[in-house]
Chains A and B, each alone.
Chain A
Amino acid sequence: MTGARGKTIVLWSIVWFNLIALSLPTIIILGASFTSGDIVRFPPDGLSLKWYARLWLLDDFKDAFLRTLYVSVICTIVSIPAGTLAALALTRYRIRFRTAIQVYLLLPFTIPLVVSGLGMMIVFGEVRILGQLWPVGIGLCCINLPFMMWAVSATVNALDNNLENAAANCGAPPLQAFLTVTLPAVMPGVITGALLMFILAFNEFLVSLFLTDARIVTLPVSIYNSIRSVITPDLAAVSVVYIVIALFAVWLLDRLVGLELFLKSK
């Protein structure tokens, strides 16, 4: 087992175990969504698209889906400038107390989500905006902002300082250098970050649970509520919507920046 063959066998067995654990829930949900029976069981009672048809007719589902989309778009739109500029500031500009600011900006990751969610519920309640939809998007932006900053800094760090200097030496005013040299150079990071922000907001559950109510319930929360009452196959069909969106996001990410980007050492 200590030979090269042993290495392959050991490593690949673990990899295959991972692959199964990672994909089994997805595959099972796909399978369950096509059942023609009224409860989820194995083997399915037969194949049909009836749960998808039912979903299509469900106004609650459509409303929740649109609301989730709305919230995710707000989260992404706010986080693109906020995260990009912050990442640039921290990597390209002379900033005092840099470490302190970095630690501060990592607070969304260090404060537990349940605490962030409750805190925002209280704050939004105090300023009377709890119960509206747009603050949910802001809230999701607050908790995931470091992802945006991380994605941009990763590309900024790879950016050659001399490029901007060269632009300046050629007489480009600061804004022009920024818009024509810096921004295009960090664009892959911005795109990656924006995609991450969108997809994380689209899936976010716990903070949404605190910030939404029945009037403005979003999809992850309504799935959670349904799991807690009765598990029917229409839930599987809803979940498939998520799987399809995730597939699309993975494809898009790969097309735009290449998944291999995530393997690069910093």
Chain B
Amino acid sequence: MSSSDTPSFQYPLSWRILDRAESVAGLWPGRWSSLTGYLFLVPALLLVFVLVIGLVYIFDYSLHELDLSTYRLKDAFSLVNYQAALKSVTYRIVVLRSLGASAIVTLITMVLAFPYAYVMVRTRSSFTRKFLLISLFLPFFIGQVVRAYGWLIILGKEGLLNTFITSLGLPPVKLIYNYPAVILGLVQYMLPFAVLLLAPAVTSISEDIELASEGLGANWVQTFRHVVLPLARPGLIGAGVVVFTLTLTDFAMPEILGGGTTDFIANSIYDGFFQISNPGLGAALSMILVTLGSVIVTVVFFLAGTGTLVSTEGTP
């Protein structure tokens, strides 16, 4: 196509840009094309590397004792921080409290989330489905701090519930700044995560299997127990692990709804760094939390499979 006979004609701009880009991309030698995939990974690998360096720093901090005369970490390596953290009764209680809360929250959340996911997937009404989805996404898109604030208004001394209780002539009840309030806040926080992880698992269960089960004389409870839940197992494991680890490492709910006496591990780490200015101890607690979480997840995956979290498919 020469420009002399059709001077007014030009390829569309997008084509020309594409051609130009293609010629630039052509500089990338063909024999390197097997490297393209790795090139694509570089930005993500670098971003995650920031966290890895951070972890290395924290590990380094954890190996140095605080010098109380200067409030700086000593140069010498020592395991004093780990000894202090593991020996302390307080931290043992904090760890057990966090683990206990994780177990309770996971159990309650799964019991509540599964029926929600099930109804949402199985309902024939697209309006109902939309309504359930919106009710799920809205709190999912509102952060922990705002939701915790909402609970403060509901559970507080002059909150909604206590106003109701006192209007019945009963004395006000202390509903906040305690363990149950933290559990409630966490369950509400985890529900959207759990439902969104469970819904695909429910979708993958063919309704025909349920109908077959019921056709064979099983009632819905039996069908649930022997057909639906076993089939949803990968989803349940995936959702359970996510809820468990998110609870184990949570900071905001115990901080805001716990009133300073129901600290989780994350709160102790924060206090180690900022309240008592001992980054070494805080770092040791951080490493303990990382280890604890990894061990638990590994054990669960070893015993029950990886669920839906790690996809083994996708090889081209």
> Within the complex, are A and B direct neighbours (CB within 8 Å)?
yes
Interface residues of A (CB under 8 A from B): 1-4, 6-7, 10-12, 14-15, 17-19, 21-26, 28-29, 32, 39-43, 78, 81-83, 85-86, 88-95, 98-99, 101-108, 110-116, 118-123, 126, 138-139, 141-143, 145, 149, 153, 156-157, 161, 173-176, 179, 199, 202-206, 220, 223-224, 227, 231, 235-236, 239, 242-243, 245-247, 249-250, 253-254, 259-260, 262-266
Instruction: Tell me what chain B mostly uses at the interface: helix, strand, loop, or mixed.
Output: helix
Any chain A CB within 8 A of the CB of B153?
yes
CA A7 to CA B289, docked complex, whole Å: 41
For the complex of A and B, list the 8 residue pairs with the smallest distance between their C-beta atoms, beginning with the closest. Answer: A119-B54, A25-B150, A93-B37, A203-B143, A112-B249, A86-B44, A265-B204, A246-B141
Q: Which of A23, A245, A263 contacts B200 (CB 8 A)?
A: A263
* Interface window among B5-13, B64-72, B155-163: B155-163
Contacts of B280 in A (CB 8 A): none
Q: Are B48 and A107 within 8 A (Cβ)?
A: yes
Q: Are B315 and A253 within 8 A (Cβ)?
A: no
Q: Which of B21, B36, B136, B220 contacts A7 (CB 8 A)?
A: B220
Residue of B nearest to A92 (CB): B316
Residue of B nearest to A222 (CB): B145
A-B contacts, 22 listed (Cβ < 8 Å): A2-B222, A11-B115, A15-B132, A18-B112, A26-B142, A26-B150, A28-B160, A42-B158, A82-B43, A82-B47, A101-B41, A102-B311, A103-B310, A110-B293, A114-B289, A116-B54, A145-B48, A203-B146, A205-B145, A242-B142, A242-B146, A260-B129
A17 in contact with B112 given A105-B44, A118-B269, A224-B145 (CB within 8 Å): yes
Contacts A92-B37, A223-B146, A265-B200 known; 19 new A-B pairs at CB < 8 A: A18-B115, A22-B188, A29-B153, A88-B40, A91-B316, A94-B34, A114-B270, A116-B51, A119-B55, A139-B50, A173-B25, A202-B143, A203-B146, A205-B143, A231-B152, A246-B138, A259-B134, A262-B199, A266-B200
Any chain A CB within 8 A of the CB of B52?
yes
* Interface window among B76-84, B88-96, B118-126: B118-126
Q: Are A93 and B40 within 8 A (Cβ)?
A: yes
Q: Are B115 and A104 within 8 A (Cβ)?
A: no
Contacts of B158 in A (CB 8 A): 39-42
Q: Are B290 and A115 within 8 A (Cβ)?
A: yes
> How many residues does chain B have at the interface if contact means C-beta atoms less than 8 Å apart?
103
CA A236 to CA B136, docked complex, whole Å: 21
CA A220 to CA B86, docked complex, whole Å: 34
Q: Which of B38, B141, B219, B282 contacts A203 (CB 8 A)?
A: B141
A179 in contact with B18 given A206-B252, A224-B256 (CB within 8 Å): yes
Contacts of B151 in A (CB 8 A): 25
Q: Are B25 and A174 within 8 A (Cβ)?
A: yes
A115 in contact with B142 given A157-B314, A265-B201 (CB within 8 Å): no
CA A120 to CA B136, docked complex, whole Å: 31
Contacts of B51 in A (CB 8 A): 107-108, 111, 116, 119-120, 142-143
Contacts of A21 in B (CB 8 A): 112, 187-188, 191
Any chain A CB within 8 A of the CB of B286?
yes
